[in-house]
């Protein structure tokens, strides 16, 4: 059996029965995370524009636009909901830059409405296989080489999730994945330049997952050797740097999706270590030795990959929030000035604050290739004060990454931070229903019961 067939069978037949509790907890954390970021991100730049565009185009009223309301074709609903989920860049992620849940959850919800409902158990199963496919097909930093990992890899996760929700056969699932392979794309230049394309790519991935599943169910075929063919995924995008047999080994008996990371702070994952280090140092010195007034210089050393993505000089640009989220310099300056890192700190008014702009100029980011063996997120930071003192602190694993996970309390706190930040938050009883619904999703007779909790 080819690995393409093995992957299709895994998606179609895997049950979460017997899956380790920590794996299922990861999927539930992913679901709660995306629900929170969708509510909080629903009014961010570009979201209303896209919603109005798709509403104006009309079409069959198949699936719901979350938060704002309205019904549009399922694949379009998946797109706009995914854009909202990614808008704050506070959703789950995976090194070296893959965002899975912000596409698989919207795709699953849209497909559930298209299907006419499914149990909470089936819904959880679909998210589980989608997450596992995304993690297993994730490539290395060297293989992506500047391509957007979300656009390249998560499209398979989204297609897997939609295929499972819609109940596709093994053959149909294979075709959905093969069609998704032809939709893979995206560049990290979108992130570097701070453009809204970052969140639109997330939407395209969700849209493609639903559309590819629909096309496959209608009989449209894709290349059978989409993974190992001469121009398949592992040769075209993997560049021969990833062993597919190793990457896909033991699917169904060993779940790697437990390694999905959840951000402690609302910015790019590669800024989290720097934020954590400076905040820990502020707490350690109780603000007496280090403050916005007496910091003379901050030097932050990071590996080359982190430097290329988030180490460049900070520019306000046309989208200050996105530029700030992808800037170590801004994140460190913000933490020093405000003593924390909150969603409100990435609003345009906060980003343009002259006090933080002045501090940004005192933060320098240095690329250190010698740090690469320590992983994706190591940080070495030296803080020099105006009175001549020097502090050195470092971290190897940023908070929320495998090896340094968030607690259950921190997960719920993240969700409630999103609710508190939202422009039009749901009432407390609805918020609690969302928390309880995610925790007990296996007991739902119809997963669509969650959707009204997000509607006006």
Domain co-membership, 359 together with 436: no
75 and 12 in a common domain = yes
The predicted structure's pLDDT at residue 375: 87
Judge if 122 and 189 occupy the same domain. yes
**Shared domain check, 105 and 217:** yes
Please check whether residue 244 lies inside any domain of the structure: yes
Q: Are residues 235 and 100 in the same domain?
A: yes
235 occurs within a structural domain: yes
What is the Cα–Cα distance from 54 to 330, expressed in whole angstroms? Answer: 35
Position of tokens 């890899």? 153
pLDDT digits (tens, 9 = 90+) for 250-272: 999 999 999 999 999 999 999 99
- Asked if the model's pLDDT at residue 347 lies above 90, the reply is yes
Q: Both 229 and 329 in a single domain? A: no
Residues 21 and 155 in one domain: yes
382 and 256 share a domain?
Answer: no
The answer to the question of residue 173 being in a domain is yes
In a domain, 38, yes or no: yes
Residue 342 has pLDDT above 90, yes or no: yes
Judge if 28 and 67 occupy the same domain.
yes
Residues 247 and 112 in one domain: yes
Cα 237 from Cα 98, distance rounded (Å):
14
Residue 383 is part of a domain; what is its CATH number? 3.30.1330.120
Report how far residue 402's alpha carbon sits from residue 130's, in angstroms, rounded to the nearest whole number: 19
Beta bridge partner(s), residue 295: 385
Q: 104-160 pLDDT, tens per residue?
A: 999 999 999 999 999 999 999 999 999 999 999 999 999 999 999 999 999 999 999
pLDDT band at 330 (very low <50, low <70, confident <90, very high): very high
Question: How do residues 274-309 score in pLDDT, each as one tens digit?
Answer: 999 999 999 998 867 789 999 999 999 999 999 999
Q: Find the distance separating the first CA and the last CA of the chain, reported in whole Å.
A: 49
Backbone angles phi, psi at 327, to 5 degrees: -140, 115
Domain presence at residue 109 = yes
Q: Which residues contact 219 (CB under 8 A, 6 or more apart)?
A: none
Extract the tokens encoding 61.
């009223």
Task: Write phi, then psi, for 2 (nearest 5 degrees).
Answer: -70, 160
How far, in Å, CA of 101 to CA of 27, rounded? Answer: 9
CA-to-CA distance for 177 and 134, rounded, in angstroms? 12
Q: Which domain holds residue 202?
A: 3-262+406-454
Distances (CA, A) of 318 to 49, 313, 323, 341: 16, 15, 9, 22
Domain at 36, CATH number = 1.10.4100.10
Rounded to two decimals, what is the model's pTM? 0.92
* Statement: residue 439 has pLDDT above 80: yes
Cα distance between residue 117 and residue 211, in whole Å: 18
Distance between CA atoms of 146 and 9, rounded to whole angstroms? 32
Strand 363-367 versus strand 379-385 pairing type: unpaired
Residue 401 covered by a domain = no
Contact between 93 and 101 (Cβ < 8 Å) = no
Which pLDDT value is given to residue 287? 65
Residue 364 burial by Cβ neighbours in a 10 Å radius (0-12, 13-18, 19+): middle
Q: What is the pLDDT of residue 286?
A: 81
pLDDT band at 376 (very low <50, low <70, confident <90, very high): confident
pLDDT average, residue stretch 159-163? 98
Q: What is the pLDDT of residues 66-90, one digit of tens each?
A: 999 999 999 999 999 999 999 999 9
**CA angle (302, 349, 35) in 5-degree steps:** 70
Mean pLDDT across the chain: 96
- Tell whether 400 is covered by a domain: no
Cross-strand bridge partners of residue 380: 301, 394
| CA atoms in the 13 A half-sphere facing the CB of 265 | 30
Same domain, residue pair 114 and 133: yes
Domain membership of residue 138 (yes or no) is yes
Side-chain-side CA neighbours of residue 404 (13 Å): 14
Write down the pLDDT at residue 262.
97
pLDDT at 449 over 90: yes
Q: Give the angle 330-332-333 at the CA atoms, nearest 5°.
A: 65
Which tens digit of pLDDT belongs to each residue from 187-239? 999 988 889 999 999 999 999 999 999 999 999 999 999 999 999 999 999 99
* Contact indicator for 4, 246 with CB cutoff of 8 Å: no
* Number of domains into which the chain is organized: 2
Q: Are residues 312 and 427 in the same domain?
A: no
Q: Can you give the three-state secondary structure of the chain, one letter per residue?
A: CCHHHHHHHHHHHCCCCCCCHHHHHHHHHHHHHHHHHHHHHCCCCCHHHHHHHHHHHCCCCCEECCCCCCEECHHHHHHHHHHHHHCCCCCCEECCCECCHHHHHHHHHHHHHHHCCCCHHHHHHHHHHHHHHHHHHCCCHHHHCCECHHHHHHHHHHHHHHHHHHCCCHHHHHHHHHHHHCCCCCECHHHHCCCCHHHHHHHHHHHHHHHHHHHHHCCCCCCCCCCCCCCCHHHHCCCCCCCHHHHCCCCCCCCCHHHCECCCCCCCHHHHHHHHHHHHHHHHHCCCCCCCCCEEEEEEEECHHHHHHHCCCCCCCCCHHHHHHCCHHHHHHHHHHHCCCCHHHHCHHHHCCHHHHHHHCCEEEEECHHHHHHCCCCEEEEEEECCCCEEEEEECCCCCCCCCCCCHHHHHHHHHHHHHHCCCCCCHHHHHHHHHHHHCHHHCCCHHHHHHHHCC
Please give the share of the chain, as a percent, with pLDDT higher than 70: 100
């Amino acid at each position: 059996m080819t690995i393409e067939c093995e992957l299709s069978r895994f998606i179609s037949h895997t049950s979460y029965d017997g899956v380790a509790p920590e794996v299922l907890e990861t999927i539930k954390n992913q679901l709660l995370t995306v629900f929170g970021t969708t509510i909080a991100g629903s009014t961010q730049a570009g979201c209303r524009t896209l919603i109005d565009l798709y509403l104006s185009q009309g079409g069959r009223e198949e699936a719901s636009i979350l938060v704002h309301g309205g019904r549009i074709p399922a694949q379009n609903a998946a797109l706009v909901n995914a854009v909202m989920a990614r808008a704050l860049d506070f959703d789950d992620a995976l090194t070296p830059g893959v965002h899975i849940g912000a596409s698989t959850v919207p795709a699953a919800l849209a497909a559930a409405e298209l299907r006419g409902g499914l149990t909470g158990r089936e819904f959880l199963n679909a998210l589980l296989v989608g997450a596992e496919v995304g993690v297993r097909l994730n490539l290395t930093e060297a293989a992506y080489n500047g391509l957007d990992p979300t656009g390249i890899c998560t499209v398979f996760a989204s297609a897997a999730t939609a295929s499972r929700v819609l109940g596709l056969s093994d053959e149909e699932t294979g075709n959905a994945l093969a069609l998704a392979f032809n939709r893979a794309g995206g560049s990290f230049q979108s992130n570097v330049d701070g453009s809204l394309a970052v969140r639109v790519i997330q939407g395209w991935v969700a849209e493609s997952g639903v559309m590819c599943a629909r096309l496959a169910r209608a009989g449209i075929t894709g290349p059978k050797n989409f993974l190992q063919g001469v121009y398949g995924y592992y040769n075209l995008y993997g560049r021969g740097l990833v062993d597919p047999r190793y990457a896909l080994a033991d699917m169904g008996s060993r779940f790697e999706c437990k390694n999905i990371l959840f951000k402690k702070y609302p910015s790019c994952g590669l800024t989290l270590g720097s934020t954590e280090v400076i905040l820990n140092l502020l707490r350690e010195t109780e603000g007496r030795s280090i403050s916005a007034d007496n910091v003379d210089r901050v030097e932050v050393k990071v590996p080359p990959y982190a430097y290329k993505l988030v180490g460049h000089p900070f520019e306000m640009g046309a989208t200050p929030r996105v530029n700030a989220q992808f800037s170590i310099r801004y994140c460190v300056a913000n933490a020093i000035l405000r003593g924390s890192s909150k969603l409100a700190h990435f609003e345009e008014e906060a980003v343009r604050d002259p006090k933080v702009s002045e501090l940004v100029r005192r933060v320098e980011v240095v690329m250190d290739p010698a740090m690469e063996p320590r992983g994706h997120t190591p940080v070495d930071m030296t803080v020099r004060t105006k009175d001549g003192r020097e502090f050195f602190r470092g971290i190897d694993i940023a908070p929320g990454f495998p090896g340094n996970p968030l607690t259950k309390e921190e997960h719920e706190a993240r969700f409630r931070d999103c609710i508190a930040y939202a422009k039009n938050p749901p009432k407390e009883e609805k918020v609690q229903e969302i928390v309880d619904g995610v925790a007990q999703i296996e007991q739902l007779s119809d997963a669509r019961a969650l959707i009204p909790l997000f509607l006006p």
